[in-house]
Amino acid sequence: MDMQGNRVDSDRKPSSEWGMHRIFYDRREDIDAVVHTHSTYCTAIATLRQSLPASNYLVAFSGKDVRCAEYQTFGTEKLAESAFEAMRDRRAVLLANHGLLTGAGTLSAAFNIAEQIEHCAKIHCISSSFGDPLILSDEEMNLMKEKFKTYGQPVTY
């Protein structure tokens, strides 16, 4: 589909969430790909309407944490705006009572962020069942963001 919502190359109806994708393409120069999932652990945290704190260093794939956007009905412009606002300065956002959205420069990078954040959400949920996870400092998370620039195989985020 094009940026106006017109079907270009399929007989299939576009996702009801196409506006949530478009808002990032329109307003964030650093995002050329968006991944939206209903992954189990991210959705569990989003159902609590909580953010995912830096209980694991891999949260830095998003930023210093993953905020939870205010609840809005799926497929609406209000949801797109809520997600956009909550994802400022981040690469991921939890959608209240809904799921996860990530964005990056490439589809593989956006998918990688979604995988890493789901892993962190799982670890956070499990560790929370035993007690209160210890949260890494903002300074440590800033260091992780820098280290991730050369972490593993080069990927454009």
Span 11-54, pLDDT tens digits:
887 788 888 999 999 999 999 999 999 999 999 999 999 999 99
Active site residues: 17
Tokens of 105: 């420069």
Cα–Cα distance for residue pair 39/20, rounded to 1 Å: 17
Whole-structure pTM value = 0.91
- Report pLDDT digits (tens) over 55-100: 999 999 999 999 999 999 999 999 999 999 999 999 999 999 999 9
- Average pLDDT rounded to a whole number, residues 149-154: 70
Dihedral angle over CA of 122, 123, 127, 128, nearest 10: -40
**pLDDT confidence band for 148 (50 / 70 / 90):** confident
